Amino acid sequence: MLIIKLLLTPLLIGMVSLAGRRWGPAISGWFVGLPLTSGPVMLFLALDSGTMFAARAAEGTLLGLISVASFCLVYSWLSLRVGWLGSLLVSWCVFFASTFILEQFSMPVSIAFALVIVFLAIVLKLFPTYRGKYTMTSPPEWEVLLRMVTATAFVLALTAVSGVLGPQLSGLLTTFPIYATILGSFTHHFSGAAAAGRLLRGVVFGTFTFAVFFLIIATTIEREGIVFAFGAAILAALLLHGGSLWLLRRYIDVS
């Protein structure tokens, strides 16, 4: 199991990171909308702790998308006036404050899903409007390695302490915005606030796929088993994410 954790996560991250470098920041952010760390974490939780634990954790992950969207929105507005470090620290505080609040609530998964979808739609409307062009500077080559190492460490750490945290808090923390943090701060530093904002808007746009993925996991894994639940979730995520890419390129400025 340890070998799978050490190989699967960095492989997924490396492939998507290299592919994302070929397009603009919004498309790169859209890639981050895929459950690249939370998906493997949920699989390992199911294998280590059982399908009931994984189902409850998936419900927590679904609610945790509210914290992710809040992080992206706050960072985007702060980046217009504050540097990358200040924007990042405040946005992290918002994420953890939101996570603390959400941990106090329990609701049916259908209501949680509807709440998340409405919240994501509102957040997209609240993003700043960027005018003009920006200069896109390539980040250093070691950034991809940093993503791979950070993601693998996060998966190992969270799966190791999940029994202490419990399923809901484990699920909520699974959504910690590792890639939005790395990509957003690097893009902000090298290319400015407009590029970072476009990237984070792409993250939120791609998060609708994230929500569907964990809705399927939460509602099917106990009844149908791990293979069916993850197979159906991956298929639905790929189909929906492809459709969201078409919408992103057609109706949103992704340059």
Predicted confidence (pLDDT) per residue in 152-165, tens digit: 787 778 777 777 78
User: Is residue 25, in this structure, part of any structural domain at all?
Assistant: no
Which residue from 7, 74, 26 is spatially nearest to 251, judged by alpha carbons? 26
Predicted confidence (pLDDT) per residue in 184-237, tens digit: 888 888 888 888 888 898 888 888 888 999 999 999 999 999 999 999 998 988
User: Is residue 34, in this structure, part of any structural domain at all?
Assistant: no
Residue pair 9/152 in contact (Cβ under 8 Å)? The answer is yes
User: Is residue 180, in this structure, part of any structural domain at all?
Assistant: yes
Structural tokens at position 163: 């029994």
pLDDT of 30: 62
Q: Which residues contact 237 (CB under 8 A, 6 or more apart)?
A: 34, 35, 209, 210, 212, 213
> Between 246 and 38, where is the model more confident?
38
CA distance 6 to 20: 22
User: Is residue 22, in this structure, part of any structural domain at all?
Assistant: no
Which residue from 64, 86, 62 is spatially nearest to 75, judged by alpha carbons? 86
CB atoms within 10 A of CB 29: 30
User: Is residue 15, in this structure, part of any structural domain at all?
Assistant: no
Residue recorded with tokens 């476009």: 198
Structural tokens at position 210: 């994230």
The confidence band for 181, taking pLDDT boundaries of 50, 70 and 90, is confident
As a three-state string, the secondary structure of 203-223 is HHHHHHHHHHHHHHHHHHHHH
On the question of pLDDT at 240 being above 90, the answer is: no
Mean pLDDT in residue range 75-97: 95
Predicted confidence (pLDDT) per residue in 113-153, tens digit: 999 999 999 999 999 987 655 555 566 667 677 767 877 78
Tally the domains of the chain: 1
Residue 114 domain boundaries = 40-128+141-251
User: Is residue 9, in this structure, part of any structural domain at all?
Assistant: no
pLDDT of 51: 94
pLDDT of 255: 46
| Distance, C-alpha 131 to centroid of its chain | 26
On the question of pLDDT at 249 being above 70, the answer is: no
> Global pTM?
0.82
User: Is residue 23, in this structure, part of any structural domain at all?
Assistant: no
User: Is residue 160, in this structure, part of any structural domain at all?
Assistant: yes
pLDDT of 244: 64
